[in-house]
Chain A
């Protein structure tokens, strides 16, 4: 395709068009190649980053929720796990106690997010019992991410309560 010898760029007429098109072809291929690579890597990297963050957030939310449910809580001299305390409080309609206890715990442990308690096993507004959140963070974290959730069952009554945790937006 390339001439072995050339006295000057336009010294001979033969091959000039070939050379020109070869050069144009290379330029265009490089252009589209770069164009292609750019979109492949930039767009997918951004999407991947979003997906990774969502995944990490989701796992982190699960961890925080489990951590909160396993914390020891002492109420009136009796030791409960977080999960047991939720069941106890909802059963006895102690929404204020539940809100205060978990809000304080989340603030102390620097667990940022919102914890929503429902009196039933479904996410129904009318069943929403109370919300606990790290102080001053309520608006920022509520509904802003995918929730980690658990349905707790009171073995004494078989009643079920949904608990959701919405973590910090990243």
Chain B
């Protein structure tokens, strides 16, 4: 009997048998290559976590480091500008001295709202140094807390995105330069030459366009496939439909105003993503150029970045400095010997001059520069060195609010001129001087001229001469055989000489001379009399 004779349908049994047998054998030997192991629950989620979520965390971590550094920089720079941001440095109401901001002018104080100034300085630093917030950010200060919020967040580029350029090329691009090649080998790194798009070596560099020439890749369609042909500037009569794929359409290098609609590139009122890629740093841009699908794929991950920093301690510290400055002004503003007063009154944390220079007294028209260390010993941390003390740098104007004493030092009689030569000390703050003459003997009198006028019993003479400082002769002091001119004042090496006409005075009588200074509406007291 033959096996399959008269056994209709049996063949199907054997066929099934063979099928199962072959499947079993196939799985036995090739089970590793079938690919069933790739169907793991949570695989997509874990990939997402790894390449986007954790990547986002890492980006935030780096931004936190940057922000800490920027805020530290802003606090330091603001303190060194006397509490003002660099932008407002020129507009400080009290002016400048020694290239530092003056914190007072007369009785007006110009201490800053330091929190606002730090915030302004911080914004300026972020604008200059950070690539991630080119789309904009908001900064405000509330309750001494600086709050930073990015407007459009930070777009996360997958952590595993790679690009096929050498480390040297990348380092060169990062410096803002462009690599030059000898053949196809990297040769040297130079700044962007003044050339056109055709000099870019390949499609990667054309699309990356590190020299910002506005280049676009041109393709040929051979055998139904698009192949890179050349790099050139955007054609004058380009249309959105000329972009060959979604990536070029959305990047829209030629700024045609395009958007991708399912499978074609169409005109649009606004660019969709164009600004993003222009603002990206070179690393992210290189990743996207190498992996354009990142830009157009459905998965987009953006983190909302915000940052908060408590400025309370810096606010209080600056207030303390302001109080110390006012105290110092109160103590020394109306003293003639400013340096001596400052030496006695300044606190240990107050040094003369700008920060970093020697602690040497400097003065210009009673304006003195100071470098003041934080009264609360605040320190700023640094990632490149040990922490350093917070220091404020500014100048104070000790121009007196009242006229300062001047002292008549000597009086001689010049018979040739028939005049008295009265010498007295000068005052930087004086706008006028008065010379008093009396026949009343009270050499040690210290007090106002008006009081003296009242108390001189039996005296007939108490006259004065007013001298405006602009009338003082500065370069013709009559020394040696010189006599000078009656009624003229001379600047004689730190002293003022006034030649007083003796014509109306009685020869042989004793006359006493004193001097005072005038400053706006006030007059200094008489500080003793001199006589021959």
Q: Chain A interface (Cβ within 8 Å of chain B)?
A: 17-18, 21, 25, 28-29, 32-33, 35-36, 39-40, 43-44, 47-48, 51-52, 55-56, 58-59, 62-63, 66, 69-70, 76, 78-81, 83-84, 87-88, 91-92, 122, 148, 150, 152-158
Contacts and interface: CB of A to CB of B under 8 A. Distances in A.
B506 interface: no
Given A58-B50, A66-B57, A156 B36 contact: no
A28 B7 CA distance: 19
Interface in B20-43: 20-21, 23-24, 27-28, 31-32, 36-40, 42-43
Contacts, number: 126
B69 to A, nearest CB: 4
A42 B63 CA distance: 47
B27 A40 contact: yes
Contacts of B31: 39-40, 43-44
B167 interface: yes
A25 B7 CA distance: 14
Interface of B: 1, 7, 10, 13, 16-17, 20-21, 23-24, 27-28, 31-32, 36-40, 42-43, 46, 49-50, 54, 57-58, 61-62, 64-66, 68-70, 129, 167, 174, 379, 381-387
A32 B23 contact: yes
A88 B37 contact: no
Contact of A25 (B13, B61, B387): B13
A122 B167 contact: yes
B17 A28 contact: yes
Nearest to B29: A39
B13 A47 contact: no
A25 B17 contact: yes
Given A29-B17, A55-B43, A155-B65, A18 B7 contact: yes
Nearest to B36: A44
14 contacts: A36-B24, A39-B27, A40-B31, A47-B37, A52-B42, A58-B50, A59-B50, A66-B54, A66-B61, A78-B387, A81-B64, A84-B381, A148-B54, A156-B69
With a 10 A CB-CB cut-off, give which of B50, B379, B387 has the most chain A CB atoms. B50
Given A51-B40, A58-B50, A69-B61, A84 B68 contact: yes
Contact of A87 (B13, B36, B49, B65): B65
Nearest to A46: B37
Given A36-B23, A84-B383, 12 more contacts: A25-B16, A29-B16, A39-B24, A43-B31, A44-B36, A59-B46, A78-B387, A80-B381, A84-B68, A84-B381, A92-B385, A150-B61
B62 A152 contact: yes
Contacts of A43: 27, 31-32, 36-37
B288 to A, nearest CB: 18
A91 B61 contact: no
B292 to A, nearest CB: 23
Given A29-B20, A39-B28, A40-B36, A157 B384 contact: yes
Contact of B20 (A36, A44, A47): A36
A18 to B, nearest CB: 7
